[in-house]
Each structure stands twice: as structure tokens, then as C-alpha cells.
Amino acid sequence: MFLLEVVRAFTAAKVPYAVAGGYAVALHGAVRGTVDIDFVISLKPKHLEAVELTLRSLKLVSRIPVTHQEISKFRKEYIENRNLVAWGFVDSKDPTRLVDILLTDDISMQKTTTKRIQGVDVKILALSSLIKMKKAAGRAQDLEDIKALEKLA
């Protein structure tokens, strides 16, 4: 399972992370289909570097021509002026292997919980943090996710 492959790699690289987005919604028990896996990480430069190296080791490449150094240096400018809220990675040989690193939130500001999946501990955003993040995004799918998540709370 691709999710567990990425989680194991982040854990080995000591990257503080939590699964967010549609996968987190589904892991909390709401019906939700999604292809990409969203992660909230520590946005410290050393963790951005570890994420880039880790995802490259899994044969994923950045969908835009930026490096961890550029993300670290220009993150706020990218978000505010270019609407780059996620740093996306894809496997060019298998485009269903997609990872988005959310640039708008740092894991240190989030509540997390752990789910055990096939013997692997997977950190996911806690319901309260996930709902808050989805409210901030405010897209139609996010609003639907909020309704489903609030029924679980």
C-alpha cells in the first residue's frame, strides 16, 4: 500500500508528519475517495530537505521545478503570490502515486492521532485539526468533508 510506503519512509527519515486531506477523512471513517495523499509536516528546512530526499528515494519527483531550499526560503511568497499551497510529487511511471506536502500549516501547530494500519502506526490529523484546516480551505469538497466529519465527532 502506497500510503504505508510513504509513512514508513517518513518515519525512517525522522520527518514529523500527519496524513491530512481526503485520506485523513477516510481514515477517520467518513466515506471519501481520493488519489493524492496530503501530508502536513514540520516546515523546518531540515525536514523539507528530508521530505524531498525521501520522496525522491520512492521515485517521486516534484511536479514543479523547485527544491527544498526554494520552498524554505520563499514559502510565504509562493503561498501569497502564486497560490502554491501544496508541494506536489508524482511517480512519472505511475501517476496514481501522488503526494502533496501542504505548505500552509506546520505539524507543530496541529493535533494528531494514530491509527494502526496493517501493523504500521500512521499519524493523522485529529478531527479538530482536520475540520479547522478544511474550514480554512473552504472548497466545496472541504465543506462536504466537514459535514461528514462533524457526524463522527
pLDDT, tens digit (0-9, with 9 covering 90-100), for 94-103: 999 999 999 9
- Residue 147 forms part of a structural domain: no
- Residue 150 forms part of a structural domain: no
Q: Residue 137: pLDDT band by 50, 70, 90 thresholds?
A: confident
DSSP 34-84: -SSEEEEE--SHHHHHHHHHHHHHTT-EESSS--HHHHHHHHHHHHHHH--
- Residue 76 forms part of a structural domain: yes
Q: What is the pLDDT of residue 8?
A: 98
Q: What is the pLDDT of residue 76?
A: 95
pTM of the model: 0.93
CATH of residue 95: 3.30.460.40
Kindly state the helix (H) or strand (E) to which residue 117 belongs, with its residue range. strand 112-117
Q: What is the pLDDT of residue 33?
A: 78
Q: Residue 31: pLDDT band by 50, 70, 90 thresholds?
A: confident
Name the residue range of residue 118's domain: 2-142
| Total structural domains within the chain | 1
- Residue 96 forms part of a structural domain: yes
- Residue 23 forms part of a structural domain: yes
Mean pLDDT to the nearest integer, 86-93: 97
Percent of the chain clearing pLDDT 70 (strictly above): 99
Taking each helix axis from N to C end, the angle separating 127-137 and 140-152, rounded to the nearest 10 degrees, works out to 160
- Residue 149 forms part of a structural domain: no
Mean pLDDT to the nearest integer, 123-128: 96
